Every structure is written in C-alpha cells, then in structure tokens.
Amino acid sequence: MKRLLEYVGFEPERLYVKWISGSEGQKFADTATEITENIKKLGPNKKMRDAQ
Amino acid sequence: MSKETELVRNKAKELLEDGDVELVVGYEEGTYPSRTTPLFADTLEKAERLIWNPFCVNSLPKLLSKGHFEDKLAVFVKGCDSRTVIRLLQDNQLDRDEVIVLGIPCNGNVDLDKIKDKVDITTIIEVEVTNNGVNVKTEGSTEELSREEALYDKCLDCRFPNPVIADEVIGNEVSELPKNKNKDDEVASLANKSVAEKNEFWEAHFERCLRCYACRNACSACTCRDCLFDRDERSTWLAKGKTLSDNEAFHITRAFHVAGRCVDCGECERVCPVGIPVQKLNRKISLDMDNLFGIGEIATSEDDIDNPPPLGTFLTEDPEEFM
C-alpha cells in the first residue's frame, strides 16, 4: 500500500506502517515523535485535499 | 467468410446439436464488419451469426461470472481472456464442470480508434494481423500499417497469445509475438520520477475520470456483487462524488482490491472512455507483489487455480517490512 501511494505521488516521508505491541510504550512514543517531526518538516499535505 | 469464423460456427453448432451445452458465448458482427458485439447463441440459427476476426476484443468470460447463468455453456477465449477464466475459477465465480473453454490463439486485436484517421472504418472488409504488421482491406484499397499503428496498446506487449486453459484449441498456435512495447519499463520509469512529477502525472489523469465504472465492470478480478463504491453517497467516507480526491481514492482502492489477483488482461485501460492508464497502476502492484512475495506471473496455467493469492493467505516467511 505504501509503495502504491508513493507511486501515485505521495511523499514517502508521510507514510508509515509499523508494528508496535501493547507492551512497547517507549517504541510507540518514539515513533509518534519521529513521525510528527518529519511531517512538520514537510508542512501540510496538499494531495487529496480539494474536497475540503 | 474467414477460416476462423467457419471453425467457430462449426464448433458452436456441433456443441449445441449434441446437447453438450445450452449456450455458446462468442461474437457477432456489429454496426459494420469492423464492429463486434458479444453474442449469446442458444439456437443453431443464432450460431450462424458467430464470427471471429481481429476486432473480437471484448473479454467474454467476465460476462459469465456467478449468478448470471444456470445452463452449461461454452465460451470462446483468446490468450488474455483465458487468464480471466483462471481468475474466475480461482475466485469461485465459475464452475469448471459447467463451462467448456474454447481457446483461439490471437495475433493481436485492432484498435479502431487508432486506425480511424488512416482508413474509413465503415468500409473495412477484412483485416489480417501478422508479426510484421497489419493489412487492412477496405472497399477501395488495402492499407499496410505497423503493429504500433493499428493494434491495442495491450496487444503490443502480449505475453500470452495462446490460451493457457482450454478444453479445445481452435486454429493454429501462435509462436512468440514481437514485443513492440515494454509496459514494465514504462512503470519503472514513472516510479523513478520525483514526487511532484508523479503527482502531476496521476492528478492530470484522475481529474478526467467520469466515474463510469467501466474499468470495474470489465475487470476479471472485480466480481463483488455489492461493490463498496455503489453505496449511498452519505453513508460512507468513500464518496461517489466526482472530485479529484474522490476519483483518486476510487482508483487507489480499486487497484489495491485487485492486488495480487490482477491477470494483466488490460481490459480496464481499454474500456476507459477518457484514456486513463489504469493498467500502469495495476502493473505496478503486480511487480511489487512479485518483488515482495516472489509470485512471478500469475494465472499462467490451470495449476495456478490452486495457488491462493498472496494477500489472501498467510505464510510465516512473508516479508514484514513494518516490524
């Protein structure tokens, strides 16, 4: 799915698929922080936003 | 009457006469000789109308998917259509015992849209497709065209000119066809473009989508009786609205729903009235599927019916890129 979305023109840095178990609190927090930082660098997504 | 037409008619009449089948599904002449339309022949008189020529392009097996027919029937298939038969058998949309598959090797189908500027398509009498080119005979003259000039794009990269499943093959087997185009290279070069370029390419195409669902209706892997895109507009986040992002959501979703099951018949792209390169989406996924699961080309023989599609099964050795 990630590959397909990249193919139709989404930025790869916006797309994450990660397996995190319920017991891995730190991994969850780290991942969320990492995603947020990367997305902030990219700015708002323009793709598929024309309906709003 | 061409040799193939004669063979097709004789075979159909033989099956109907012997009571082997109740219905033979083939093609008949449309508005003029260069147009064809599916024919459901249940009598010998109707079987006399059957034809076979390079204009017989519609894939017929999809018309037979579950719930449409009770009778035992026979269907004429080209190489690409025969892979549709495998798809339908694997998806439990056809019973192998209920259908007689009559395969006809094919050199390529002629695209009327491509040749209409070069010849008057209403006066075409006969067309011959060979490995070297296409000879179009009209009432006044004979035109010699190249394969690229006259055939459907999907035929220029055909790897299955001969039926991969058939109870009987009618006509001579076709040896390897020339490769006038490489779809996989086109997909790879698009995938290597920048994010902005890819976005621009697809938005320009998706913007023109009419949401006519011809691609879905022609697709051999799209056999849901209740398609999620047919639901009430307000009841779901997958809206039927014809905006760019809704169109985009439709195409991405549809492509992923047929992931690992697409037989690369190219019907979706052929039937699109606005020329969206739908096959470039599906082919990308097929290549990814091969890359991830090593499935190679699917639906290439009757044995493939027992191989479950990669996204419909779980193996411990499946790749786990998300771990």
Instruction: List CB contacts (< 8 A) between A10 and chain B.
Output: 195, 199
Interface contacts A/B by beta carbons within 8 Å: 60
In a domain, B19, yes or no: no
What is the Cα Rg of chain A in Å? Answer: 13
Residue among B203, B252, B323 whose CB faces A19 most closely: B323
Q: Do A18 and B322 touch (CB under 8 A)?
A: yes
Amino acid at B105: P
β-pair partners for B26 = B39
Q: Is residue B71 part of a domain?
A: no
Residue numbers in A near B241 (CB within 8 A): 51
The pLDDT tens digits for A1-52 are: 788 888 988 888 888 889 999 999 999 999 999 999 999 999 888 888 776 5
Picking from B203, B246, B252, the nearest residue to A4 by CB comes out as B252
Is B52 a member of any domain? no
Q: Are strands B124-129 and B99-103 parallel, antiparallel or unpaired?
A: unpaired
What pLDDT was estimated at residue B233?
62
Report the C-alpha gap between B296 and A20 in whole angstroms.
31
Answer yes or no: do B129 and B249 share one domain.
Answer: no
Residue B263 predicted with pLDDT over 80: yes
Instruction: Provide ipTM, 2 decimals.
Output: 0.82
d(CA B60, CA B173): 20
Would you state the pLDDT for residue B100? 96
| Polymer length of chain B | 323
Domain count, chain B: 2
Same domain, B226 and B146: no
CA torsion A20-B315-B94-B66 (nearest 10°) is: -20
Q: Tell me, what's the pLDDT at B236?
A: 61
Lowest mean pLDDT among B37-46, B88-97, B132-141, B224-233: B224-233
Interface with chain B: mutation pick from A2, A4, A8, highest number of B CBs within 10 Å = A8
Same domain, B240 and B121: no
Instruction: Report the distance separating Cα B191 and Cα B108, nearest Å.
Output: 28
pLDDT (0 to 100) of residue A3? 85
3-state secondary structure of B161: coil
The per-residue pLDDT for range B96-142, each reduced to its tens digit, is 999 999 999 999 999 999 999 999 999 999 999 999 999 999 998 89
What residue numbers bound the domain in which B115 lies? 110-151
